[in-house]
Amino acid sequence: MMGCGGGYISSEVDEEYEKLVLRMNPPRVTVDNTSSRKATLVKVDSANKQGSLLEVVQVLTDLKLSIKRAYISSDGEWFMDVFHVVDRHGNKLSDEGVVGRIEQSLEARALRRSVGLQAAANHTSVELIGRDRPGLLSEIFAVLTNLKCNVVGAEVWTHNSRMASVVYVTDESTGARIDDAERLSKIRHLLLYVLKGNQDKQSAKTAISMDSTHAERRLHQIMFADQEYEDGSVQEEDGIADDDKNKPLIIVENCAEKGYTVVNVRSRDRPKLLFDTVCTLTDMQYVVSHATVIAEEPEACQEYYIRKADGCPVSSEEERARLANSLAAAIGRRATDGVRLELCCEDRIGLLSDVTRIFRENGLSVIQAEVSTRGSQAVNAFYVVDASGNPVESHTIDAVRREIGQTILHVKDAASASSPPEDNGKFSFGTLFKTRSEKFLYNLGLIRSYS
């Protein structure tokens, strides 16, 4: 059955045929290091399916590659994409094994998608959404620690006064994932109590998952479902106010003669920008037929020719506005205007609870966090502002570093804080005296006394 675009197969395509096509035509990846002196060209050819473009972009992003240019053509049953990529240092790729890793990742994802497989998780995923406030992350990690949960990874985003996070936890004593229904119910209940606070009685939500999830993709889905994009704003076409200079300019218009909707996005360039926009288009059930992306600092320009899943272009002004606001929100969620603090040290139970408590006690608010564990090492990054959302004073950063340990907590942007005096290199979290956090935990029934 044809859609109104004339070229789309019905959603009722036989699943066995799709599996056969994917098996007979696995993604073909070629790497060209000679055509461009600035970047490595990664060319991907594969059978096309809704989500194929996102799969490719996700693989490149997960490999820590920056996509500087992209030329995408996927109109029909086949897609052919060319990506100009550099490594995290801005250099062409020199690792000969990268093409193998890209191929393996794409083939594995295609197989899981076609046969419905799901990788077994060795942790429990806790998903949270609620009104953001200073100290919220500290309270969340404190509750998890007192519930004997070890946080092995987390992604935290804040945008438009909302906080969303995906936290991966294991049992403190066994290191295994938590699957006891009664215990999981208690975790959900207490975290929901934390999220609600005094102002978010209705919209706070928690969820537990045993599946392996891509945290950043899931965060986009959580925040989109929360409709946090409705508070976003886009630059006006006829001018850019000073307050709007960091907001994306997004124009959505129909190309009637071709039956496409054309989306133009101009914004400040940053890592993972293409992933964020493609993720949003995919989750909104738009199909990207053609696209051109030029993302070379300081500005990025993206142009997409899209249709809805039924083959039709965007049909109403209301839908165009919703699409523009959703893309603006997706770009804004990964805000990195705060000071980036990087923590690298031996992992231990309660580490994040202690670190975020110290942030809170020094008036710092976390607007974004990336938490991971590599072997026995904790490798964490926090973007922080003051409690009012303003840049942090350098003396505050100095005080936090002295309390946590200057050899393990580093400021990514040296201009963001003054250089602290040398210390003796010893790890210290300061005096872990009784604080307001203990009163908070007492109210939750997690400790017997805070006096």
| pLDDT tens-digit readout, 291-301 | 999 998 789 99
What local confidence, expressed as pLDDT, does residue 241 receive?
A: 37
Amino acid at 375: G
**Same domain, residue pair 311 and 341:** no
**Same domain, residue pair 221 and 264:** no
* Boundary of a domain, candidates 303, 332, 361: 332
**Same domain, residue pair 222 and 347:** yes
Amino acid at 55: E
Total domains in the fold of the chain: 2
**Same domain, residue pair 324 and 386:** no
Structure tokens at 228: 């946090």
* Boundary of a domain, candidates 269, 301, 332: 332
Q: What are 248-260's pLDDT values in tens digits?
A: 999 999 987 789 9
Q: What are 298-333's pLDDT values in tens digits?
A: 899 999 999 998 989 998 999 999 999 999 999 999
Supply the range of the domain harboring residue 261.
Answer: 15-117+247-332
> By percentage, how much of the chain surpasses pLDDT 90?
57
Query: Which residues lie closer than 8 Å to 399 by C-beta, 6 or more apart?
Result: 362
**Same domain, residue pair 75 and 216:** no
**Same domain, residue pair 213 and 347:** yes
What local confidence, expressed as pLDDT, does residue 385 receive?
A: 94
Closest CA to 139 of 165, 161, 159, 160: 165
**Same domain, residue pair 317 and 372:** no
Lowest-confidence segment of 15-29, 120-134, 351-365 by average pLDDT = 15-29
- Examine residue 36 and state whether it is found in any structural domain, yes or no: yes
**Same domain, residue pair 254 and 281:** yes
**Same domain, residue pair 55 and 181:** no
Amino acid at 251: I
How far is 426 from 407, CA to CA, in rounded Å?
A: 8
What local confidence, expressed as pLDDT, does residue 443 receive?
A: 58
**Same domain, residue pair 328 and 207:** no
For the four alpha carbons of 147, 151, 154 and 157, in that order, the dihedral sign comes to: positive
Q: Which helix (H) or strand (E) holds 370?
A: strand 364-374
Task: State yes or no: pLDDT of 200 exceeds 60.
Answer: yes
Q: Are 29 and 68 in contact (CB under 8 A)?
A: no
**Same domain, residue pair 112 and 129:** no
Closest CA to 86 of 42, 134, 149: 42
How far is 135 from 118, CA to CA, in rounded Å?
A: 35
* Mean pLDDT rounded to a whole number for the chain: 82
- Examine residue 240 and state whether it is found in any structural domain, yes or no: no
Please list the helix, strand and coil fractions of the chain in percent, rounded to the nearest 5, in that order. 30, 30, 35
